[in-house]
Structure 1
Amino acid sequence: MQAAELGINYIFGHFIHPARGKQAFETYRSHFSPSVFSTQPHAMFAVFVICGETDEEAERIASSTDLWLLRVEKGLDSRVPSIEEASTYHYTSQEKKKVLQNRQRMIVGSKATVKEQLLRLMDRYQTDDIMILNNSFDPIEKQRSFKRIAELF
């Protein structure tokens, strides 16, 4: 609401609380007041994205992000674990549920999967701009993911 009242651009953190997105954008647009910074509302969303060569590869890479989010939410180790560490971690049934819940905050898949899901969110939120976050362990895989996403658009 503050961004709307100040007449500035707005970024919604889909990676924080995706369920609130649609309402957040509606509130921003309906309460927007033009200013010296912007004469009309301009908004984007930020989302975790891991784009692999295949859906399976992206899932493997995302496993480290899954474990990282789980640990961060518990106030534990904030370092991103390796894919190998994530693959040997034994999740409790409650942790498995939390990982599935956290996946709503992410887009994980091949180029085709990622593009389809990004376009769906852009349509849902009525935005043209996206901020992509990738917190995977391997810097090479992170770079490859960003390159694949860039190729989509």
Structure 2
Amino acid sequence: MTRAVGQGDVVRSTDIGLTSVSVDRAVATIPASRLDEIVGRHALVDLSPGQLLGSRSVGELRVPSGRARVGLRLAAGRLPTVSLPAGAHVTVVETSPDKDAGPVSNLSTVDAVVVAAPKATSDHGSWLVDVEVDSSNAAQLADLASLDRIAIVERGQ
């Protein structure tokens, strides 16, 4: 590295220098022939000037900037019975706090993308699913999830 690059920042061609080194096979380095695989990707760790780049130093961010990942626990009947694969576009719907009050018209919705297919809990009474949402919706969604007041609807793209 020719200069410091913070975790999450994009690595530019001017951030990288080329050098010849002799290292043990246990030391992971990136050959100069793979430079195009590094430029434009994100630093997954803080990178310091003079540091050799390892294969796990750069890549794609787990959660893109401006997005958030929220884990949900849903009772049976609160998500489609058909498989929801990773990448499925869904709407997370706030459910009514009072089951006897009838339909409520001002409940919130949040568009989301399924991160991984839902998994049944060990007691098979509910499902666990991670969704990615706009970061501005994450706190509200996490709060509703903690109150067991959400359902998922799969939507077309």
TM over 0.5: no
Q: Which has the higher strand share?
A: 2
Q: TM-score, normalised by structure 1?
A: 0.29
